[in-house]
A and B are shown apart, each in its own frame.
Chain A
Amino acid sequence: MNKLLAAFITCAGMVIAPVAMAADFPAKNIQFVIPVSPGGGFDTYVRAVAPILERHLPQSVNIVPTNIPAAGGARGAAQVYRAKPDGYTIGIFNIPGMLVPQIRGDSDLQYDLKKMTWLGSFGQDGYGVGVPTASPYKTVADLKALGRPVKFTASGPSSTAYSATMIATDMLGIKREIISGYKGSNDYVLAVIRGDGDAVIGPLPVMEKFVESGELRIIGTFEEKSSVPGAQNAVEMGQPDLSKLSVGRLVAGPPDLPPEVAKTLSESLMAAMQDPAMATWSKESGIAVEPGDAASAKGILEGQFNFYERYSKYLGPAN
């Protein structure tokens, strides 16, 4: 009889468990997947927010940053996508970095960004055009009038920096030649300073550091209102759509996350990003945080899907 009772209680427990789980969430440590190696920008955001996020969750648990740097981030994304939808596995996503392989149709891609549960955004970086300080080119029009293909430095053809260079030069009508294969944004901006190419199209925060140290000049920003004095904005260059080129840092959990769990995670993340401690870190490190909620993350994702689907011919060979 006792056994029967025990079995009954267990069964009842299994039925009630999901409800109880949502109310008690989080009851154990949360894994925060970073689909790149330690040390990069995305890694930094997660490691900076993790201890602050711990304080804002309704129950005290640890946030465990986990780097899964395999297959260009696809493995980490797949791990979040396939995780049990209980809120104990979430991840940070480079949008459009993780979105381009999906539009391009890379083989064996085991995630679908459109189905994931979007929780928030650390913000987006805009792009711009830079030239070495000593360069004679002052505007994008100067590059256009060069009469020969302009040499741009970028990472490999499957990368978003390469696609961004292809798309932007096309929209601006600049004849281009791309010196590819650099290992990251710091690397290809340094390459243009060294003289490997004529100009570079890259994320503004990276380029601004080289402007401050006196090596680079930004001649155009792909923003509606230019944040760099003296640089033309996207509207002045006649291509307002250029402002869609950006790098976004979005946070998501697996598909079909229970709404209460998603709400808890999303609200705690928002509170953590708005915490004064995060603001202090951001100010000291010079790394911008623009807190965005679940709806804004989803909006960014949809906007990027529309944009890159339109320019899918520039997305490089599929992996």
Chain B
Amino acid sequence: MLDVALTAAGNVFTFQSLLFLTIGMLIGLVVGVVPGMGGTTALAVFGPMTVGLDPYSALSLAGGLMGAVSFGGSVTSILINLPGGAPNAATCLDGYPLAQQGKAGLALGASASASSVGGVIGVFTLLLVIPISKKIVLAFGPSEFFLLATLGLVTIAACAPGRMLRAMIVGGIGLLFAFIGFDNVNGGTRFTFGIEHLWEGIPLAPAMIGLFAFPEMIELSAKGGSIAKDKGQVGLTGTLDGVWASFKYWKTLLRGSLIGTLVGAIPGVGGTVAAFLAYFSTVQASKNPESFGKGNIEGVIAPEAANNAKDGGNLIPTLAFGIPGTAEMAVLLGVLVLHGMEPGPTMILHHEAEIYGLILTLTLSSILASVIGLMMVRPLAMITRLDAHILVPSVIAISFVGAYANNSLPGDIVLAFVFGVIGYLLIRFDYPRLPLVIALVLGELAERSFAQAMMISGGSWSIFVTRPISALLFALIVMALTYPMIRTLLQRRHSVEEVS
């Protein structure tokens, strides 16, 4: 393995490969920043352009791009409460409050270092588990998928502190949206109101753009002023403190990275769940959970570490069986095929050196993208000081372009607008918006896996507890739901004892 890794390194550390790595990284940062455009779109656009390049340059471009997207996406989450992609949505929870307090530099610094370390941990975990990657992938079947999706849905209860009932109402509405489109288990389409555009379900990117960008901009233009409430206070000096914060809260960093890798390894679950689970578990483990949602730096570290670690994890099913874990991986496989690599269980046997090259570029990219990103922090943080009459039209225009760019379907612009109205109504009546995203991402997976698990077990519910991993996940769900309650009870008893 070592000689293969060295061959790969020799091919990656050439002028041409490093040049393409840098180009990929810059593209990744830019598309990460533009809402709605993520790694998937960028790879789909730029991947085919690599025809004619040698495979290593193409892989460097792809690896650079993928490693940089998530930090790019966190920038807008923090600065304007507009996630660059669905996996960055969790970063908004604490990142945006920090920006409002004038601590954008701190949050961006933490996001950069957490992304880097997360990315590296993800890749190292991948290298460690490559020999057993097939076993890992085969251990997760429909019953495990259902329970994982449920675990993700459980985080809805925690994503709006103090407004649990409202979060659950919005989550329910999100589930209704998630069931629109093809019914994969029974066939046919449902709830499409005869609109052909809805056959494939509600596409995530336009929905998110609508939910997050428009309401924020309407609010801002109504209020006037800028995002940072006190212009004089925008702390650009906090960046280095932010970088160190990730290491200060190393437990949070490690937890986020491992959750990201693990969730990434399970096909079809993806970065959004990874980020939310990381956030949720950090809140659970914290001594003062009530500080989250108001600008706790740990709330930025955990999801960003998970978000970048998931790329390493995502490669596990891709390399083991050629099963892309996410849409982004599916497009990456397409790029690999263009360069004569056959995706599938035999890919790692036939193209070992190229695969290690890709892993190496992913590592380099997650570190370098953060360094370059940090250099851009100062001008970026200025966005929060921009006046509404400049910021609002720019963001709205970029958002519409982003909604359209994803699939070049005009219907997506209409969808973005509809979700913009929904998002504004939610803000107006003080309902959280994130539960809608979580439900939209997980609803279909939960439903389909549940139906499949039932078909496999012949209708017996015991399948959810008799398989070892299912039983573990089931226990985690029970714990996640009861732990806050038990903790409150214990605290109450404690204070009662103190009084008496």
State the A residues within 8 Å of B (CB).
Answer: 37-40, 43-44, 47-48, 50-51, 65-72, 74-75, 107-108, 151, 155-159, 162, 177, 179-183, 186-187, 190-191, 193-197, 206, 209-210, 212-213, 215, 280-281, 284-287, 316-319
Q: How large is the interface on B (under 10, 10 to 19, 20 to 34, 35 or more residues)?
A: 35 or more
Q: How near does chain A come to B413, taking the closest CB pair, in angstroms?
A: 14
The docked-state distance in angstroms from the alpha carbon of A196 to that of B196 is 33
Are A69's CB and B345's CB within 8 A? no
Stretch of B165-173, B178-186, B276-284 contacting A (4+ beta carbons < 8 Å)? B178-186
C-alpha gap A186/B2 in the complex (Å): 31
B199 touches A319 (CB 8 A): yes
Among A44, A72, A212, A215, contact of B338 (Cβ-Cβ < 8 Å): A44
A38, A158, A180, A287: the one contacting B342 at CB < 8 Å is A287
Cβ of B324 < 8 Å from any Cβ of A?
yes
Q: How far in angstroms is the closest Cβ of chain A from B144?
A: 10
Give bound CA distance, A163 to B138, whole Å.
26
Decide yes or no whether B456 CB sits under 8 A from chain A.
yes
Residues of B within 8 A of A195 (CB): 141
16 A-B pairs, CB-CB below 8 angstroms?
A38-B334, A39-B332, A44-B338, A70-B407, A71-B199, A72-B200, A74-B199, A155-B184, A157-B187, A158-B187, A180-B185, A186-B344, A190-B323, A193-B138, A215-B134, A319-B182
Verify B340–A285 contact, CB threshold 8 A.
yes
Closest to A110 in B: B196
Please state if B187 and A317 are interface contacts (CB–CB under 8 Å).
yes
Q: B224 contacts the other chain (Cβ, under 8 Å)?
A: no
Nearest 9 pairs between A and B by C-beta?
A: A284-B340, A157-B187, A213-B345, A39-B330, A209-B344, A286-B342, A39-B334, A38-B44, A158-B187
Complex CA gap A151/B323 in Å reads 22
Tell me the bound Cα distance from A48 to B334 in angstroms.
Answer: 10
Contact in complex: A158, B48 (CB < 8 Å): no
Within 8 A of A (CB), among B265-285: 267-268
Q: Are A285 and B407 in contact, CB atoms less than 8 angstroms apart?
A: no
Contact assessment for B323 and A70 in the assembled complex, using a CB-CB cutoff below 8 Å: no
Cα distance A181–B337 when bound, in Å? 26
Among A151, A183, A186, the residue within 8 A (CB) of B184 is: A183
Report the bound CA distance from A214 to B463 in whole Å: 27
B337 touches A72 (CB 8 A): no
If A190-B323, A316-B187 are given as contacts, then 11 extra A-B residue pairs at C-beta distance below 8 Å, sorted by A number, are A48-B338, A68-B408, A70-B407, A72-B199, A156-B183, A162-B187, A209-B345, A209-B346, A280-B340, A284-B340, A318-B188
Docked-complex contact A37 and B199, CB < 8 angstroms: no
Per-position contact with A for B423-446: 1 when CB-CB < 8 Å, else 0?
Answer: 000000000000000000000000
Interchain CB contact (< 8 A) of A39 among B194, B331, B346: B331
The complex places the Cα of A84 from the Cα of B16 at a distance, in Å, of 43
B184 close to A40 (CB less than 8 A): no
Given A209-B345, A286-B342: A67 and B323 interface contact (C-beta under 8 Å): no
Complex Cα–Cα for A177 and B327 (A)? 30
Judge whether B451 is part of the interface by a CB distance below 8 angstroms.
Answer: yes
- B455 pairs with A108, CB closer than 8 A: no
Q: Which chain A residues lie closer than 8 Å to B321 at the CB level?
A: 186, 190, 210
A245 to B137, CA, bound (A): 30
CB contacts (< 8 Å) of A194 on chain B: these are 138, 141
Contact residues of B between 313 and 372, Cβ < 8 Å to A: 321-324, 327, 330-334, 337-338, 340-342, 344-346, 349
Question: Whole-angstrom distance between the alpha carbons of A67 and B185 in the complex?
Answer: 25
Chain A residues with Cβ below 8 Å from B346 are 209, 212-213, 286
The answer to whether B448 and A181 have CB atoms under 8 Å apart is: yes
Q: Which residue of chain B is the closest to A282 with respect to CB atoms?
A: B340
- Which chain B residue has the least Cβ–Cβ distance from A286? B342
B455 touches A285 (CB 8 A): no
Report the bound CA distance from A287 to B322 in whole Å: 14
Are A47 and B330 in contact, CB atoms less than 8 angstroms apart? no
A157's partner among B44, B52, B186, B344 (CB-CB below 8 A) is B186
Q: What secondary structure prevails in chain A residues at the interface with B?
A: mixed
Q: Is the CB of A69 within 8 A of B337?
A: no
A107 to B73, CA, bound (A): 40
Instruction: Please tell me if the beta carbons of A40 and B330 are within 8 angstroms of each other in the complex.
Output: yes
Most buried by A among B194, B196, B451: B196
Cβ of B322 to closest chain A Cβ, rounded Å: 6
B182 contacts A72, CB within 8 Å? yes
Within 8 Å CB of A317, what residues of B?
A: 186-188
When the two chains form their complex, are residues B322 and A186 in contact, meaning their CB atoms are under 8 A apart? Answer: yes
Query: Whole-angstrom distance between the alpha carbons of A71 and B197 in the complex?
Result: 6
B182 to A287, Cβ gap below 8 A?
A: no
**Chain B: minimal CB distance from A241 (Å):** 24
Chain A nearest CB: distance from B141 CB in Å? 5
Q: Which residues of A contact B48 (CB under 8 A)?
A: 47, 50, 65
Q: Are B196 and A71 in contact (CB under 8 A)?
A: yes
B182–A197 contact, CB under 8 A?
A: no
Q: Which single member of A180, A190, A287 contacts B337 (CB below 8 Å)?
A: A287
Q: Cβ of B47: which chain A residues have Cβ within 8 Å of it?
A: 38
Distance of A157 Cα from B185 Cα, bound (Å): 7
Determine if A285 and B342 form an interchain contact, defined as CB atoms under 8 angstroms apart: yes
Question: B189 contacts which of A40, A193, A280, A319 (Cβ < 8 Å)?
Answer: A319
Report if A69-B200 is in contact (Cβ < 8 Å); known contacts: A156-B182, A156-B184, A213-B345. Answer: yes
Q: A39-B327, A186-B344, A209-B345 are in contact. Are A70 and B186 (CB under 8 A)?
A: no
Chain A residues with Cβ under 8 A from B331's Cβ?
Answer: 38-39
A213 to chain B: closest CB distance in Å? 3
Residue of A nearest to B333 (CB): A39
Kindly identify which residue among A71, A179, A212, A316 contacts B345, using a CB–CB cutoff of 8 Å.
A212
* Shortest Cβ distance from residue A144 to the other chain B in the assembled complex, whole angstroms: 21
What A residues does B196 contact at CB under 8 A?
70-71, 74-75, 108
Contact B334 A40 (CB under 8 A): yes
Q: How far is the CA of A99 from the CA of B37 in the complex (A)?
A: 33
Distance A181 CA – B453 CA, assembled complex (angstroms): 11
Is there a chain A Cβ closer than 8 Å to B375's Cβ? no
* A37 with B327, Cβ < 8 A, contacts A66-B408, A196-B456 known: yes
A70→B199 contact, CB < 8 A: yes
Give the shortest distance, in Å, between B258 (CB) and chain A (any CB). Answer: 24
**Bound form: Cα–Cα A233–B331 in Å:** 35
Which partner residue on chain A sits nearest B409 by CB separation? A70
Kindly state the separation between the CA atoms of A187 and B455 in the bound complex, as whole angstroms.
16
In the assembled complex, which residues on chain A have CB atoms less than 8 Å from the CB atom of B407? 67-70
B268: contacting residue among A51, A74, A183, A212, CB under 8 A: A183
State the CA gap A190–B134 with chains docked (Å). 11
Contacts of A197 in B (CB 8 A): 456
Query: Which residues of A lie under 8 Å from residue B337 when comparing CB positions?
Result: 44, 48, 285, 287
